Amino acid sequence: MAKQPKNAQSKPVSQSYWSLVWWKFKKNKLAIVGGIILLVMYFSFVAIPEFIAPYALERRSEYTEARPQTIRFVDQEGKFHLRPFVYGLERKVDMVARRRSYVEDPNRVYEIFFFTKGDPYKLFGLIPTDRHLFGTNSDDPAASVFIMGTDSLGRDYFSRIMYGGRLSLMIGLIGQFLTLLLGSVLGAISGYYGGTVDIIVQRLTEFLAAFPDIPLFMALAAAIPTFWSPIAVYFMLTLILAFVRWGGLARQVRGLILSLREREYVLAAKSFGADDSRLMFRHLLPGTMSHIIVIATLSIPGMILSETALSWLGLGLRPPLTSWGVLLQEAMTVYAIRFAPWLLWTVPFLLIVIFAYNMLGDGLRDALDPYGAR
């Protein structure tokens, strides 16, 4: 990004396109907030979830479907403690409903410490360590801290949401990247060369558009063999998401290229002897960049949601892979909603990501047209 002069009004210097964009973007507070939320979320969910989560992904405890433990500062006598603490969980069996549940036992107090030792892991996949952001710092297995409860196997749900975020958030980025690659290259070729290539690409996008997209997703995802390794399933799913969605983008890029192709600067470049690839990648595609960025930002949430929906239906990722959609599978039954509603904690995280992307994308759309009146 070019540096913004302190007083843009008094210095009539000409501004580059990108510095104008940045200037306009900065004024949109909602977009800035969205961008910061996304940066923080991507950093904590993709880079360091092992550190933030108090437990390892598959670490089981004896507390199955335990309710969340409230983090407290004030004890029973009404005394305020600077160090937060939780009450221990105690099993209670409801003979009538034949259910086990857990209640907090105010007599067992476990203080929460920061940067405690816990399950070992490798930070960034490289540095072996066992420090976690918070925990009870006790070897007693009853000294648990489940701030969002546990699932039916007694695994800490907050930790699972942290790990699940990595796959869910990454599939949005990787899938969108592949979509962009497919859509912009095919769109550009089709718009630039015209003729037979154009007709083939056009018909292909029309055919994809004629397929109702949710059923197409489902049908393709259902075709992933069940015996494939989880990683292969993950990449296949990403490919499917990209494959279904590139058509719309290709059409828009094609339209833009068609209009740019006739501009004088392209003619000038051509007369200087620029070859096709130079024209396309140096002169034409950059012209469509701002448009592509906006579309990309606004369609990443759709990508993330498609993965969530497919995995949740049992057509996408499967355990042992953990994504937010896989986590939601457990929250699907009326039984779960009634007796273990904390399994819905995944939903707020998803919604925050989606709204943050929408806020950012909206700001970008306004900013990338800095010459516009709005």
Partner 1 sequence: MLNYILRRLGYAVIMIVLVSFVSFVIIKLPPGDFLTQKMEQLRARGDRSAEARIEEYRIRYGLDRPFIEQYTGWVTKFIRGDFGESFEYERPVKDLLGERLTMTVILALATLIITWVLAIPMGVYSAVKQYSIGDQLISIFSFIGLGMPGFLLALLILYFAIVVLNQEATGLFSQQYVDAPWSVERVIDLLKHLWIPALVSAVTGTGGLVRIMRGNLLDTLGQPFVEAARARGLKNSTVIWKHAVRMAINPLIVILGSEAFPNIITGNALVSIVLNLPTIGPLFVESLRKLDMYMAGTCIVFFTMLLLIGNLAADLMLAWADPRIRLE
> For binding to partner 1 (CB under 8 A), which residues are involved?
207, 210-212, 214-215, 218-220, 222-226, 301, 305, 309, 312-315, 328, 331-332, 334, 337-338, 341, 344, 347, 350-351, 354-355, 358
What SS3 state is found at 109?
strand
Query: Please, what is the minimum distance in Å from the beta carbon of residue 340 to partner 1?
Result: 11
Query: Please, what is the minimum distance in Å from the beta carbon of residue 25 to partner 1?
Result: 18
Closer by beta carbon to partner 1, 54 or else 301: 301
Query: Please, what is the minimum distance in Å from the beta carbon of residue 52 to partner 1?
Result: 23
Closer by beta carbon to partner 1, 112 or else 224: 224
Closer by beta carbon to partner 1, 190 or else 308: 308
Closer by beta carbon to partner 1, 20 or else 240: 240
Place of tokens 């595609």: 285
Query: Please, what is the minimum distance in Å from the beta carbon of residue 242 to partner 1?
Result: 16
Q: How far apart are CA 168 and CA 361, in angstroms?
A: 19
The amino acid present at 106, given as its one-letter code, is P
Query: Please, what is the minimum distance in Å from the beta carbon of residue 259 to partner 1?
Result: 22
DSSP line for 238-305: HHHHHHHHHHHHHHHHHHHHHHHTTSHHHHHHHHTT--HHHIIIIIIHHHHHHHHHHHHHHHHHHHHH
Closer by beta carbon to partner 1, 143 or else 344: 344
Closer by beta carbon to partner 1, 279 or else 347: 347
Which residues does 146 contact at the CB level (< 8 Å), separation at least 6? 61, 63, 66, 68, 69, 89, 156, 157, 158
Cα separation values, 346 from 33, 69, 262, Å: 21, 17, 50
C-alpha angle with apex 224: 218 to 229, nearest 5 degrees? Answer: 135
Which residues does 22 contact at the CB level (< 8 Å), separation at least 6? 1, 2, 4, 367
Closer by beta carbon to partner 1, 103 or else 223: 223
**Alpha helical stretches, state H, the chain:** 17-27, 29-42, 49-52, 157-193, 195-210, 213-222, 230-260, 264-271, 276-278, 285-313, 324-330, 334-339, 346-367
Query: Which residues are 102's β-sheet partners?
Result: 91
Closer by beta carbon to partner 1, 112 or else 364: 364
Query: Please, what is the minimum distance in Å from the beta carbon of residue 248 to partner 1?
Result: 14
Query: Please, what is the minimum distance in Å from the beta carbon of residue 311 to partner 1?
Result: 12
Closer by beta carbon to partner 1, 284 or else 328: 328
Query: Please, what is the minimum distance in Å from the beta carbon of residue 221 to partner 1?
Result: 8
Q: How far apart are CA 359 and CA 289, in angstroms?
A: 20
DSSP code at position 321: S
Query: Please, what is the minimum distance in Å from the beta carbon of residue 232 to partner 1?
Result: 13
Which residues does 359 contact at the CB level (< 8 Å), separation at least 6? 30, 31, 33, 34
DSSP code at position 9: T
